[in-house]
Structure 1
Amino acid sequence: MPAPAHLLPAPPPLTELECDLARWADDGGPLHEPRPRPQAAQWLRISAALGERLPELAGREDVIVTCEPGTRSGAPAAFYPALAQLEIDAALFAPLNPATIRPTQVGDELRYPAAWGAFTHEAAHAAHSRWSTPAALRGTALDAAAQLLEEARVEKAHLARRPGDRGFLRAAIQSLVLPDFTSQTPTDPWQAGAAAGLILARRDAGILDPDETQPLNEALTTLLGPDLLNTLAQIWTAAHATADDDAQAMIKHAEAWCQALGATPEAPEPAPAPTGSRGELADVVGKIAAAVAANEAEQAAAQARASAASSTRARAKAAQAAHARQAAEIARKVFTPGARPFTPESQRSKARYAPSPVTGTRPPTAGEKAAAGRLARALRAAAYRERTVTVTASAVPPGRLSMRGALARDAQKAAGALPTAQPWIRTQRRQGPTPPLRVGVAVDVSGSMHAAAAPIASAAWIIAKAAALTDPDSRTATIAYRRALTAITAPGRTPARVTEFDADGGGHSLAEAADALTASLDLATPGAGRLLVIASDGRYRADEATRAADRITTLRAAGCAVLWLAFEPDPRPLPGATLLELTDPAQAVTAIGKAATAALAATNP
């Protein structure tokens, strides 16, 4: 076999030095003090840590794990069923510093996948290798074949319990199994069978991929012949389905393996011919190792991309939550009764004092009241949803009788068949719920909007009053913004009077005004007809425009319509908003009603 046996009934016999030391101790001599090994304490700690993790892999708590430089069996790792002992070579953890290895920390094993794969493989033996070759047959070809078949069998059984360990088993195969096929490996039937049992059987166990093992499959088909290779595949497939404690079945599988390859089961393993060719298997297995490495690298890159995308989504979600909290805090400060104008953080370095732009209130005119009524009717029409129609068929009334269905039912009865026709057709029409409205109004009261202050004040009252008239659950709010934000109409309160204000300030906090309106009116939440109205000329600084445009884009993506009202020539609306230019302030109400209706009708609530 390519690798030293690692499923042994007991450790190898004591060496002569160990026997001499034992006799010397029995004779009363001084105890032998072994030469201290470097970092022995660290490997002792790692052994204990691996022992703590073994129960989750093998489901056993009685196995003692030893990790130190070198193993008694000579294999990278081994398991002794009779003694319930597992050993693993410390060299598998190279080049890591032992002081940094923390097996008890879940996830630390990702730093040493090959070592953890060997540990997982031996844990699979501890869990599933509950049979052993009879003592009289140990060291024979039958014993070697049985251990060969056991390798893939226990890994398949282990993956049925812990499919997430596949990557570690692949790492162990790549680092420990495939390199055992060297240029000195004979190219004879017995070694070819070993390659099939160690590699192709792991393909059928779900550990290696078919594309990775295809070169070996083709080479063994040529070397052994398709019939013999198919026979070997049938044997390891039957072994995969064998119970953990069915020693008799495994012995039969091993006998069939020996017979297929022309070996005497009770004799030692067949020796390679002295003049036989060597190296062909190593070349093919080298291609497998390259394919496995390429697939692992591709998978690692895909996982890295997925992890990066997940981290990006997590950061975006956290930023969104933080922004929502900030918006709610701005809304609280703006709409608190009796609150002074609120200056956002982005404008505080430029604002010394923020007086209120409100100059007073007045009763609405008859024309404004009539305009509010007209706008309310238009908004209700925009939010209207058609009735849903449901057509159902049944065997009994109520409904409209379908003669075709009735004749089909009579024919079924006459034929003695079970009637399945449903001749009664019932049509139900249900009126869909009309969603409430959420309308936020942001009014620019900077100096460039002085001439439009009066029509904007009138339009803000009309919109608020109209939204309240459409539905008791509808809500509206108005904010006047320059550097500071001032509440004109609070959410849930229908204004009885028109609020008048001056437009003589500097700066533009439209982004913060949109945040406050979004938080107080749930403009980003589906379930209502949502509209943000912005009255401004759009003459902003670049940073102010960028932040405000981001808010508009977010609202549009959430299904909220955005209407931009311009009362001055040459407006500069931000991207994403529907522009409405008003040259005659007297026509503002009609134009706003039409534009708001169109915006709401085109938006899913």
Structure 2
Amino acid sequence: MPTHAQTHVQHTPPALSETEQALVRWEDDGGPAFEPPPAPQAGHWLRIAAALTERLPELAGREDVIVTCEHGTRSGAPAAFYPTTAQLEIDAALFAPLAPAAIDPARVGDEENYPVAWGALTHEAAHAAHSRWTTPPPQRGTALDTAAQLLEESRAEHAHLSRRPGDRPFLRAAVHTLILDDFTSQTPTDRWQAAAAAGLILARRDAGILDDDETDALQTTATAILGTDLLDTLAAIWTAAHATADEDGQSMLDHARAWCQALGTDPTGPEPAPDPAAGKQGELAEAIGKVTAAVAANEAAQTAAQEQAAAAQTARTRATAARAAHARQAAQTAEKVFAPGARPYTPGKATSRSSRSPVTGTRQPTRAEKAAAGHLARALRAAAYRERTTTQTASAVPPGRLNMRQALARDAQKAAGAIPTATPWVHTVHRAGATPPLRVGIAVDVSGSMSIATAPIASAAWIVAKAAALTDSDSRSATVAYDKSITAITAPGRTPARVTEFDASGRGHSLGEAIDALEAGAGLTQPGAGRLLVIASDGIYGAKEADRAAGRIAALRKAGCAVLWLAFAPDPLPLPGTTLVELTDPAQAAAAIGKAATTALART
């Protein structure tokens, strides 16, 4: 039997250290005071031990246990619990490779940095909380005592997980430290040792600490050594031990006695000596090594998945915050652009007084423009029309239309003494389909190379604004002219009485900010409406200007807004994500915009 399982719970007080022995001599005969040489980092380890003592009640549910943390332990085990003195010791080496100055157990969550050490502490805390029985002194050191302590290992952890299931990852992380070091390449593969390995590993699987796929290697090895029937018998024993109460020492001893009898061992004698001829040495250590490697791999994969999920959640949170910030910025831009009487707005400047307005005046709409607005309004209303929905509901009572077949069936059910289930009344409800509104934003480039587009876009802007107002009270459109500044041509929610004319003699391109103004002003990101952004430009931009605008276009496309790019000159350079329409006749702009708006509305 591995010695480590026997030294987890020490029923005798820990041996006195050199310092304690010197203090005892001083008290006994007045000898010279002992001054131990200062150990390296001793102050940090005292601080860590005090912090672990402070945190232990949350693990063990008791406040009387003192934790010591030093290099090397008195028990020789990586960690041990002394129930007679309520002391818990843990080897400082378990915290490697962390420097003691970087360890702060007082901070909740710091234990994630040293899961093996915290897992060992948790295991001993499980003993402090649940190992409330002892083997009677006459039976200590016998095979019965060894088997009982072996069964207590997984029983204590099983009971601990019933209180604190969140500690499972730490117990898994400490499996290598708690078990594997007890099985070496010299450990023989006899029945007693194989049963011990099964009681330490497979029992933890049944306790919910390890997974089935992680213990396959040991399951195969133990079955080959013990046989299926004997292994099943041992599994039944440790399963019964898991259901044993904390104070029921007699039952635990009975389980241990059954364990010895199953293995053909005298429970009153010492545990069997290792049998070097029983099988290949190191086979059990190799199998357990595969178990711990599988546990480590699964934990690493789980950690990676959690980190990936956390990173994705962080990215989503940041994206949401970025969208909210962008929406606020777009709303501020729209407010500055579409405010009544606003001057051209230049992004990045506190005032726009020095910005020249491209607007040259207004005129009355022509008869052809009025007719085009009416035709477009009718086309939009047709595209927005939705068939009414019909819902039929059958019931046992009026109102509704009587179904004679169901009525006769109901009468027959009553006559037969059965509970009537037929539903002879059919109620029909007709509901009109919701008519989606239209949202259109038009951005026209008024840099010096776009003079050919000013007149047709001015006409199209009035036609679209008038048609939107005639289509639906919730429909709206807006048009802006942009160079380095942004100027409102038609404002959302306002039906222009006159056509606003403008020229193209500006420099620079603020398309990204122009899209922001149209997005917030016309509501191009709001679902439930036919949405269209129209950009009239040759696309000759600088790299930074193009990147800013392309990002806005991609966001609008993702939100479900169609983007139309109108080009009036050969070899245009539309931005990615747009639908290019090259017009040989600028007068076709209104028809192209109207067609795209109708399509967007029909697809809503």
* TM-score normalised according to structure 1 size: 0.91
Which residue does the alignment assign to 1:592?
593
Whole-angstrom distance in 1 between the partners of 2:108 and 2:119: 15
The SS at the match of 1:386 is coil
Deviation string for 1:400-422 (max 9, x for gaps)? 33344334333333332222222
**Corresponding letter in the other structure for 1:295:** N
Give the alignment partner of residue 184 of structure 1, picking from 186, 193, 196. Answer: 186
Q: 1:47 to 1:554 in 2, by over 3 A?
A: same
The SS at the match of 2:533 is strand
Whole-angstrom distance in 1 between the partners of 2:215 and 2:35: 50
Contact 1:563 1:596 survives alignment (8 Å): no
Which residue does the alignment assign to 2:420?
419
Which residue does the alignment assign to 1:197?
199
Deviation string for 1:318-358 (max 9, x for gaps)? 4434433332332233233333322235xx8xx99631101
Query: Cα RMSD (Å) of the superposition?
Result: 2.7
Give the alignment partner of residue 294 of structure 1, picking from 286, 294, 297. Answer: 297
Aligned-residue offset at 1:227: 0.6
- What pairs up with 1:184-263 in 2 under 5 angstroms? 184-263=186-265
Which deviates the most, 69-78 or 1-10? Answer: 1-10
Q: 1:140 to 1:342 in 2, by over 3 A?
A: same
Aligned-residue offset at 1:131: 2.9
**Corresponding letter in the other structure for 1:328:** A
The SS at the match of 1:202 is helix
Aligned-residue offset at 1:232: 0.5
Q: 1:83 to 1:425 in 2, by over 3 A?
A: farther
Whole-angstrom distance in 1 between the partners of 2:212 and 2:191: 22
Whole-angstrom distance in 1 between the partners of 2:201 and 2:181: 12
Deviation string for 1:193-239 (max 9, x for gaps)? 11011011111122222222112111111111111100000111112
Whole-angstrom distance in 1 between the partners of 2:18 and 2:440: 93
Which residue does the alignment assign to 1:566?
567
Which residue does the alignment assign to 2:462?
461
**Corresponding letter in the other structure for 1:334:** V
Which deviates the most, 48-57 or 23-32? Answer: 23-32
* TM-score normalised according to structure 2 size: 0.91
Whole-angstrom distance in 1 between the partners of 2:560 and 2:439: 12
Whole-angstrom distance in 2 between the partners of 1:510 and 1:279: 73
Unmatched segments (≥5 aa) in structure 2: none
Residue 301 of structure 2 is aligned to residue 285 of structure 1: no
**Corresponding letter in the other structure for 1:483:** K
Which residue does the alignment assign to 1:6?
8
Whole-angstrom distance in 2 between the partners of 1:390 and 1:154: 62
Q: 1:408 to 1:8 in 2, by over 3 A?
A: farther
Deviation string for 1:481-504 (max 9, x for gaps)? 112111222332222222111112
Contact 1:25 1:31 survives alignment (8 Å): no
Which deviates the most, 390-399 or 370-379? Answer: 370-379
Aligned-residue offset at 1:378: 2.2
Which residue does the alignment assign to 2:429?
428
The SS at the match of 2:575 is coil
Whole-angstrom distance in 2 between the partners of 1:293 and 1:587: 68
Aligned-residue offset at 1:457: 0.8
Whole-angstrom distance in 2 between the partners of 1:402 and 1:174: 75
Contact 2:22 2:33 survives alignment (8 Å): no
Which residue does the alignment assign to 1:533?
534
Which residue does the alignment assign to 2:356?
355
Deviation string for 1:469-519 (max 9, x for gaps)? 323333322211112111222332222222111112222222221112112
Residue 336 of structure 2 is aligned to residue 340 of structure 1: no
Contact 2:191 2:263 survives alignment (8 Å): yes
Contact 2:337 2:345 survives alignment (8 Å): yes
Whole-angstrom distance in 2 between the partners of 1:429 and 1:154: 67
**Corresponding letter in the other structure for 2:552:** R
Q: 1:112 to 1:160 in 2, by over 3 A?
A: same
Unmatched segments (≥5 aa) in structure 1: none
Whole-angstrom distance in 2 between the partners of 1:447 and 1:178: 79
Which residue does the alignment assign to 1:324?
327
Q: 1:380 to 1:162 in 2, by over 3 A?
A: farther
Which deviates the most, 58-67 or 365-374? Answer: 365-374
Deviation string for 1:70-117 (max 9, x for gaps)? 222221111223433221111211232211111122332222221111
Residue 537 of structure 2 is aligned to residue 557 of structure 1: no
Deviation string for 1:436-484 (max 9, x for gaps)? 3322121221222212312211111121122223233333222111121
Which deviates the most, 214-223 or 264-273? Answer: 264-273
Aligned-residue offset at 1:121: 0.9
In the alignment of these two chains, the number of paired residues is 599
The SS at the match of 1:333 is helix
The SS at the match of 1:376 is helix
Whole-angstrom distance in 2 between the partners of 1:358 and 1:491: 18
Which deviates the most, 100-109 or 562-571? Answer: 562-571
Which residue does the alignment assign to 1:390?
391
% identical equivalent positions: 73
Aligned-residue offset at 1:133: 2.7
Aligned-residue offset at 1:314: 4.0
Residue 158 of structure 2 is aligned to residue 165 of structure 1: no
Contact 1:563 1:599 survives alignment (8 Å): no
The SS at the match of 2:331 is helix
**Corresponding letter in the other structure for 1:162:** R
Contact 1:561 1:600 survives alignment (8 Å): no
Contact 2:457 2:590 survives alignment (8 Å): no
Which residue does the alignment assign to 1:497?
498
Whole-angstrom distance in 2 between the partners of 1:270 and 1:408: 82
**Corresponding letter in the other structure for 1:462:** I
- What pairs up with 1:468-547 in 2 under 5 angstroms? 468-547=469-548
